[in-house]
């Protein structure tokens, strides 16, 4: 399947929001690299803002994010959260979240939701996902592969143990300033928006930065 770019992700998000929230105003704006955080706050409870932004100039591998406003009237400056899974987009998500954290002068937190289910499918970095220790190794692998040792060491790590990924990320959105996530897994059979993102947009307390799925090569999956 042809990889979905930023325009395709934005179109899918707008279509989904208009279907889910027919009574709300769905605004689509374009912005430069440095999106003013005030733009991400809803002007009224009856509006959701979708913003197509340019990617940071210092990361030419990162596709342009599509930002969706949160439900909170005001978001506290706490941390920027990179919600990663064991797929090819984990690096892209972390790099963009790290850039957002530097721009906002906030800590970076890398987050993975571990459902506790035994999953036998080999991911991009790990061969096993049935133990919570594998989630910790996933976070280490992504951090040290994508960031400098100093940045990786400074980043916060969080494993959310919840059988419902959407529920866990919605709760997280009430504690952080921004959630960065991939639009889908990037598999050949994937839709422009995965089930998780479809359930999140328009419902998170803080804004969400949705990145196009990535098919960039990754290291061979670990056996530990």
Overall number of domains in the chain: 1
Domain presence at residue 31: yes
Domain presence at residue 188: yes
pLDDT digits (tens, 9 = 90+) for 24-41: 999 998 876 555 555 665
Q: What confidence score (pLDDT) does residue 73 get?
A: 75
Domain presence at residue 88: yes
218 versus 22: the higher-pLDDT residue is 22
Q: What confidence score (pLDDT) does residue 186 get?
A: 67
Domain presence at residue 223: no
88 versus 95: the higher-pLDDT residue is 95
Pairing between β-strand 208-211 and β-strand 66-68 as defined by DSSP bridges: antiparallel
What pairs with residue 27 in β-bridges?
49
d(CA 70, CA 3): 27
d(CA 124, CA 36): 34
- pLDDT reading at 217 higher than 60: no
Q: Single out the residue of 113, 8, 109, 149 nearest to residue 66, CA to CA.
A: 8
Q: Single out the residue of 25, 58, 17 nearest to residue 42, CA to CA.
A: 25
Domain presence at residue 219: no
Q: What confidence score (pLDDT) does residue 44 get?
A: 73
- pLDDT reading at 19 higher than 80: yes
pLDDT digits (tens, 9 = 90+) for 46-72: 899 999 886 655 544 447 899 999 998
Q: What confidence score (pLDDT) does residue 32 get?
A: 63
Percent of the chain topping pLDDT 90: 57
Domain presence at residue 224: no
Tally of CB atoms within 10 A around 52: 20
Tally of CB atoms within 10 A around 79: 21
Q: What confidence score (pLDDT) does residue 220 get?
A: 39
pLDDT digits (tens, 9 = 90+) for 157-213: 999 999 999 999 999 999 999 999 999 876 655 688 999 999 999 999 999 999 998
- pLDDT reading at 155 higher than 50: yes
Percent of the chain topping pLDDT 70: 75
d(CA 92, CA 163): 25
Host domain of residue 177? 6-211
Domain presence at residue 113: yes
Q: What confidence score (pLDDT) does residue 1 get?
A: 44
The pTM of the whole model exceeds 0.95:
no
Domain presence at residue 1: no
Task: Look up the CATH number of the domain holding residue 139.
Answer: 3.40.50.620
d(CA 217, CA 202): 32
């Amino acid at each position: 399947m042809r990889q979905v770019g930023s325009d395709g992700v934005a179109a899918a998000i707008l279509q989904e929001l208009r279907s889910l929230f027919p009574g709300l105003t769905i605004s689509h704006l374009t912005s430069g690299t440095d999106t003013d955080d005030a733009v991400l706050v809803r002007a009224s409870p009856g509006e959701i803002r979708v913003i197509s932004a340019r990617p940071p100039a210092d990361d030419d591998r990162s596709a342009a994010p599509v930002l969706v406003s949160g439900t909170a009237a005001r978001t506290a400056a706490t941390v920027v959260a990179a919600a990663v899974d064991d797929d090819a987009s984990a690096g892209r998500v972390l790099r963009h979240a790290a850039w957002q954290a530097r721009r906002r002068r906030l800590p970076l937190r890398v987050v993975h939701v571990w459902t506790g289910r035994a999953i036998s499918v080999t991911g991009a970095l790990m061969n096993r996902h049935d133990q919570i220790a594998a989630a910790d190794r996933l976070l280490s692998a992504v951090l040290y592969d994508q960031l400098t040792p100093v940045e990786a060491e400074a980043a916060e790590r969080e494993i959310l143990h919840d059988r419902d990924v959407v529920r866990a990320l919605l709760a997280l959105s009430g504690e952080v300033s921004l959630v960065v996530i991939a639009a889908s897994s990037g598999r050949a059979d994937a839709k422009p928006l995965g089930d998780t993102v479809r359930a999140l947009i328009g419902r998170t307390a803080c804004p969400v930065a949705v990145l196009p799925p990535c098919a960039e090569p990754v290291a061979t999956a670990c056996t530990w």
